[in-house]
Amino acid sequence: MTNVSPSQRRIGLFIIGDEILSGRRQDRHFAKAVELLGARGLRLSWAQFLGDDRPALVDALRRSFASGDIVFSCGGIGATPDDHTRQAAAEALGVPTVLHDEARALITRRCQESAAAGKGTADMTAPENVQRLRMGEFPAGSQIVPNPYNQIPGFFIRDHTFVPGFPVMAWPMIEWTLDQRYADLHHAVPHVEHSFLVFELAESTIAPVMEAIEVNWPGIKAFSLPSMGEHGRRHIELGVKGDPAAAALALEFLRSEVRRLGGEFAAAS
């Protein structure tokens, strides 16, 4: 882990797969990642959707490895020709892919269990099992990420966690990584978010107030979310987020300025 304070650690998400970009499948990872992080007092800094395009994956991963960010990558770690994530990660790091010993043992055990249940063969030289073993070929230096669903692991390297695209597998693997590798970051930075609805006030009118908040309370972010007619009238959701003590002061300042400028209040839902 890098020697960076918890407040400086950014967390990113890659969602990989042509099927997502084409609309054949709907992404569910983004919302779940936000939920899993939020439950631990963490926040997502960025997210990117990528297709099964190896050069594009290599470019994106080179940038993310160089960034020092904590990154979760969902999808593309299977062993079919359209899965490129494992190889792209290795290329981005300038290392070969190698069959991980623990991954090989887990995949072998899975094949044996399936054969005992009458599905397939336990012979690891059989073509289908040779193909399955390729799912254990990770960039050299990787560690496994346990998969409680079917025991076929993902991998971890340089603060990047690579999991399958299937939510039933990916989400427990992300949770495991957050709890086993990044427990020291959980709730390490106090953070709150407050907001309220304002009617009869233009964004341009309130913008200088928002700028003043970020000058007077460094680290606090002010935000404005306009609406074109929900709640029956045009309105703005105004708010602040950041350190609880500073956010409370900034919120009171924001409310007082809204009153001064003639805005009408309603509680945000």
List, for residues 196-225, the tens digit of each pLDDT value. Answer: 999 888 899 999 999 999 999 999 999 999
Position 1 scores a pLDDT of 44
**How far apart, in whole angstroms, are the C-alpha atoms of residue 17 and residue 51?**
5
Is the Cβ–Cβ distance between 41 and 191 less than 8 Å?
Answer: yes
Q: How sure is the predictor about 229, in pLDDT bands with cuts at 50, 70 and 90?
A: low
Position 231 scores a pLDDT of 55
Q: Is the predicted pLDDT of residue 177 greater than 70, yes or no? A: yes
Q: Is the predicted pLDDT of residue 140 greater than 60, yes or no? A: yes
Q: Which residue is it, tokens 């990420």?
A: 145
**From the centroid of its chain, how far is CA 269?**
26
Q: Determine what percent of the chain is predicted with pLDDT higher than 70.
A: 95
Position 266 scores a pLDDT of 76
Own/partner pairs, 25-28, CB within 8 angstroms, 24+ separation: 28/167
- Start-end of H helices in 200-268: 203-216, 244-260
**CA angle at residue 15 from 9 to 18, to 5 degrees?**
160
Q: How sure is the predictor about 5, in pLDDT bands with cuts at 50, 70 and 90?
A: low
Show the domains of the chain with their CATH numbers: 6-185 (3.40.980.10), 192-267 (3.30.70.260)
For the entire predicted model, the pTM comes to: 0.85
Is the Cβ–Cβ distance between 255 and 183 less than 8 Å?
Answer: no
For 31-35, 87-91, 164-168, 185-189, which range has the lowest pLDDT when averaged over its residues? 185-189
Q: How sure is the predictor about 43, in pLDDT bands with cuts at 50, 70 and 90?
A: very high
| Cα-only R_g, the chain | 23
Q: What is the mean pLDDT of residues 147-161?
A: 97
